[in-house]
Amino acid sequence: MSQARLMDGTALARRIIEETGERAAVLTERTGTAPCLATVLVGEDPASVTYVRMKQNRCRKAGITSRHVALPAATTTAELVGAVEALSADPGVHGILLQHPVGDHIDERAAFEAIAPGKDVDGVTFASFATMSFGLPGFVSCTPGGIMRLLDAYGVDPAGKRAVVVGRSAILGKPVGMLLLARDATVTYCHSRTRELSAAVREADIVVAAVGRPRLIRGQDVKPGAVVIDAGYNAGNVGDVDFDSAVERASLITPVPGGVGPMTIATLLEQTVRAAARQLGVAEG
């Protein structure tokens, strides 16, 4: 069969960010207040510093102001929770992003739960996970939400299809499976303890690789015509899918980079503007 069509996350994310920028401008004009995303960073991990700076830059371009809270690596759980609670209570902040990891000595969950649900634009709280799982209104985790947008943009309706999610992390594997289930896919979660992973993946009409192991999913594991979403991110811009062999079997496939990655930040910005609109009392278009 012919090579798969690429799912261009860069182009889709650009469109979403443009539309988000337009909505942010309208909101700012109508209310006199620009949407504001607070970013919280504990310590100085170089990758985290880079991520946060990238998010701030994208915010600026979309007309979203950002407020940065930098805390020392030695911050305690109580101090971090206090800082996040202050942002949750601050009417000038519409969305909160707590960059993780926060350090092993901190109870990350306690810090996440200090984010007010209405400001959880990164979709990390218990409440957001539950609303995603139950198909209720709320904020989604950004990467899973971005994956669903990609599927929609390429006309992939999950209803009745078999979806296999490889990975079960709290911010990626578990929520993307729940979002696919809410859209009526038959969803299988595979992970490090799965026996016969290849056989399980071969059942999938939609594969989401989200496990963080370079090239774990090979072309021979892909059912001909399947949609392959590579949400893996490994050193050297390598995904969880062996692209060169999978592209020969899939009907649609995300490249790495330029597939899922850009969608994450687009979802973050979009949700920030939505949160701001709600908090500023402006009905959404």
Was 168 annotated as part of a binding site? Answer: yes
Q: Does 277 sit near a second copy (CB under 8 A)?
A: no
Q: How many CB atoms lie within 10 A of CB 237?
A: 11
- Chain centre to alpha carbon of residue 243: 21
Was 155 annotated as part of a binding site? Answer: no
Tokens 């800082």 belong to residue: 83
Tell me whether residue 122 is one of the annotated catalytic residues: yes
Among candidate residues 55, 119, 161, 223, the one labeled active-site is: 55
Instruction: Write the interaction track for a second copy spanning residues 121-140; mark x where CB under 8 A is met and - where it is not.
Output: -----xx-xxx-xx-x----
Distance between CA atoms of residues 116 and 111, nearest Å: 11
Q: How many CB atoms lie within 10 A of CB 235?
A: 6
CA angle, 271 then 231 then 152, to 5°: 55
Given 67, 168, 202, 278, the residue binding a second copy (CB under 8 A): 168
Q: Which is nearer to a second copy, 24 or 217 (CB)?
A: 217
159 near 135, Cβ under 8 Å? no
Residue 234: partners with Cβ closer than 8 Å, 6 or more residues away = 212, 213, 214, 240
Instruction: Write the interaction track for a second copy spanning residues 88-117; mark x where CB under 8 A is met and - where it is not.
Output: ---------------------x--------
Given 23, 149, 174, 215, the residue binding a second copy (CB under 8 A): 174
Q: Does 77 sit near a second copy (CB under 8 A)?
A: no
Given 184, 198, 237, 244, the residue binding a second copy (CB under 8 A): 184
**H or E stretch at 45:** none
Tell me whether residue 271 is one of the annotated catalytic residues: no
Distance between CA atoms of residues 63 and 238, nearest Å: 32
Was 169 annotated as part of a binding site? Answer: yes
Q: How many CB atoms lie within 10 A of CB 285?
A: 7
**What does the binding site for a second copy look like in residue numbers (CB under 8 A)?**
109, 126-127, 129-131, 133-134, 136, 159-160, 162, 168, 170, 174, 177-178, 181, 184, 186-191, 193-195, 200
Q: Residue positions in the annotated binding site for NADP(+)? A: 167-169
Q: Residue positions in the annotated binding site? A: 167-169
Catalytic residues: 55, 99, 122
